[in-house]
Chain A
Amino acid sequence: MKPIDYVRARTLDEAVLLLRQGGERARVLAGGTDLIVQVRENRRDVDLFVDIKNIPETNRLEYDPEHGLTLGAAVPCYRIYGNPAVAKAYPGLIDAVAMIGSVQIQGRATVGGNLCNASPAADSIPPMIVYRGVCHIYGPQGSRVVPVEEFCTGPGQTVLGPGELLVWIHFPPPERHAQAHYLRFTPRNEMDIAVAGSAAYVRLNGERIASARVALSAVAPTPLFVPEVGEYLAGKEITDEVIRQAGELAKAAARPITDMRGTAEQRKHLSAVLTRRALRGAIQRAQEA
């Protein structure tokens, strides 16, 4: 790796100051599992790593049934699935954080980093969208909030402005008779990147779907929230035809490219199949919730 500087920030203000001074060539370092490789392979031009793992706010992992979940940007995957209360309340998020990379990667990689890396194939982002996650951002002008579905603006691009960093993501408490499920298609069982993925959240009212949210991975320049599916499903009885139609709406919203992992046609097809299965999985969990 080329010569570089590193500072372990202790406060949010210190991190913001360093990011402002460093400009575009300063970069927040959380788990480093993407960033270190990108800098080593000269895919990202960085002069300064601002390590945020020693800032109290970015390490928050707090859940209670009244206020929901606060998930700090520097919390690694293993701490999320290792927390029984969080795992029970947000199993759709656990689906994703337990499948990212390997055990070694999960020991370092953070959900905040997954968001800020802004890969269209990021596994944790669709579940965060369907659980109504809100990004809390801090910067030179103070704090602001952005829904997760609006955070990524293109491949590797986010809404973060100069000097801004993601501090935590907040999720509302789980609703009654509601739950989510995330799944993806990969040729291998482990250590792979999604060809396509789908997260579904449903809230049930007896035999009917009261409300639903669906988001897709790896079928658009950003993780893709598909509100049409939720609008269609609201108030519908759960039948095979309704689930099939929901899958078709997801497929229609997908606008994938062909690359080394799969063709656009395959990804369109997968968007329907995975959305049907994610909905079935979410419905089953909601019935048990």
Chain B
Amino acid sequence: MATKQIIRMTVNGEDVELLVEARESLLEVLREKLELTGAKEGCNNGNCGACSVIFDGRLVNSCLVLAVEADGKTITTVEGIARPDRLHPAQRAFLEEAALQCGVCTPGFIVASKALLDQNPNPTEEEIRRFLAGNLCRCTGYHKIVLAVQKAAAMMQEGV
């Protein structure tokens, strides 16, 4: 038993086809087979959000999705958020506000912030804190991260 299966998915705009085992998580396949190492394995049980990706338009923990469940799905990782010539406003704002220290949680926060700003372009501080509750940071703390998301929202409103 434990057969391998071929899956097809669209990752950061590119169609990929690969052979996976059912026990492999989407996170493992992204990192080890597609070499997209932006999504991080923090807790591997859905608490920390370091593996956050956008899965058919929804923010999810890629450690809690099996790669076989991603067959036919569209996935955006942190590597797919910037344009070729320009970082996403959330990425620029995190840099400008120094909203990171060791950086392990940062890709998850960037992806979650993009998901928030796509559905709510002008979130309150309370809305930011609630939306990002599934992303844990163990060094910088949350204040600068919230400021960065507010700045990213302002940048997006101004179209810069």
Q: Which residues of A contact B (CB under 8 A)?
A: 1-6, 8, 29, 32-33, 36-37, 40-41, 47-49, 51, 53, 76, 78, 101-105, 107-108, 189-191
Contacts and interface: CB of A to CB of B under 8 A. Distances in A.
- In the A-B complex, the 6 residue pairs with the closest CB atoms: A102-B134, A190-B133, A3-B2, A6-B22, A107-B58, A1-B23
B22 A5 contact: yes
Contacts of A51: 68-69
A29 B134 CA distance: 22
B46 interface: yes
B133 A6 contact: no
Chain B binding surface, main DSSP class: mixed
Contacts of A76: 58
Given A40-B45, A78-B58, A191-B47, A103 B68 contact: no
B21 A103 contact: no
A36 B66 contact: yes
Contact of A104 (B23, B130, B134): B134
B52 interface: yes
Given A103-B131, A191-B134, A32 B58 contact: no
Interface string B27-69: 0000000000000000011110100100100111101111011
B38 to A, nearest CB: 16
A33 B55 contact: no
A36 B64 CA distance: 6
Given A1-B23, A3-B21, A5-B22, A102 B64 contact: no
Contacts of A104: 46, 49, 52, 59-61, 64, 112, 134
A33 B61 CA distance: 9
A190 B130 contact: yes
Interface in B60-112: 60-61, 63-66, 68-69, 71, 112
Nearest to B5: A6
Contacts of B1: 3, 5, 47-48
A105 B58 contact: no
A2 B115 CA distance: 32
Given A3-B2, A36-B64, A105-B61, 14 more contacts: A3-B23, A4-B22, A4-B23, A36-B25, A36-B66, A40-B45, A51-B69, A102-B49, A102-B133, A102-B135, A104-B60, A108-B61, A190-B133, A191-B133
Interface in B3-38: 3, 5, 21-25
A261 to B, nearest CB: 15
B48 to A, nearest CB: 10
Contacts of A48: 1
B68 A6 contact: yes
A65 to B, nearest CB: 28
